[in-house]
Structure 1
């Protein structure tokens, strides 16, 4: 009978160690997020370079679309962002190019309709309108890639840049 008692005690100990966790809370202090996580966000996003583009995708094993990629990356840092690129049209305050920072989100109109938001990316090298951004491209690349903002295709479609980390 004792071996069963020992097994039961071991099971309860293991069960409790996996189910009862410390009362950890995510850091929401914008100063800490701004200083610490901007580079971490890009480092994390770059892990998914070359992940295939997939319409409505938000899973690195299957592929990403642009908003799926952005929301997936920020979710890793405890932030819930809209899953649809159109939801970014009225989100945040537009930044001036000289205020662009790594980790800010670039918002673009669709390539056919300049009234509808159709694409998103995350700034990975901040330099105003000469910044570079990481995004899930449905264009020629068909994958998560890094692109210069000052290419004609994107400067014509640029709508705004927003800072979701300092809000």
Structure 2
């Protein structure tokens, strides 16, 4: 009798180890508002990818993102089509005054070595003028999607403009 119970128990344990598990996405869908895109929803969606590795030319959360891949991926989820290359943001939109920065606006930065080209992008997640915080795919020390303050010397010196791509 004991042997039969042990055998049943062992069979149950082994069969649960070999069950096929369904793949479930850890990224929850975000609801859109009736009157357009909700700026806070953009940030909630973007924050799901914090820690996703930086990958040059990446635009896939399973593999990694570069800065423009991350921005275009996030906004695409809200049916907002944006350029895939950061260089295409140089002439996109109208520059906003710092007091007009809002959550969901895009920060555009020069390259860290060359101030004639656009080298980086991020999405404002806490709006406070030039002290705003932004979420971005960083190729720096963190080498992943992270949140950074705009008022760090590295980004303040490279700041080109902030644009609103949501208001028509």
Q: State the distance in 2 between where 1:102 and 1:129 align.
A: 13
The equivalent residue for 1:51 is 52
The equivalent residue for 1:150 is 151
The equivalent residue for 1:23 is none
Structure 1 unaligned blocks of 5 or more: 1-26
The equivalent residue for 1:98 is 99
The equivalent residue for 1:11 is none
- Which stretches of structure 1, 4 residues or more, deviate above 3 A after TM superposition? none
Q: How does 1:135-146 map to 2 (within 5 A)?
A: 135-146=136-147
The equivalent residue for 1:40 is 41
Q: How does 1:114-129 map to 2 (within 5 A)?
A: 114-129=115-130
Q: State the distance in 1 between where 2:146 and 2:111 align.
A: 18
In the alignment, does 2:89 pair up with 1:88? yes
Equivalent pairs, count? 137
Question: 1 or 2, which has the higher helix percentage?
Answer: 1
1:18-64: CA deviations, max 9, x gaps? Answer: xxxxxxxxx8x9xx33xx51000000000000000000000000000
SS class of match (1:145): strand
Q: State the distance in 2 between where 1:38 and 1:79 align.
A: 12
Structure 1 residue 122 displacement after superposition:
0.1
The equivalent residue for 1:3 is none
SS class of match (2:45): helix
Q: State the distance in 1 between where 2:94 and 2:80 align.
A: 18
SS class of match (2:38): helix
- Asked which structure has the greater CA Rg, the reply is 2
Structure 1 residue 124 displacement after superposition:
0.1
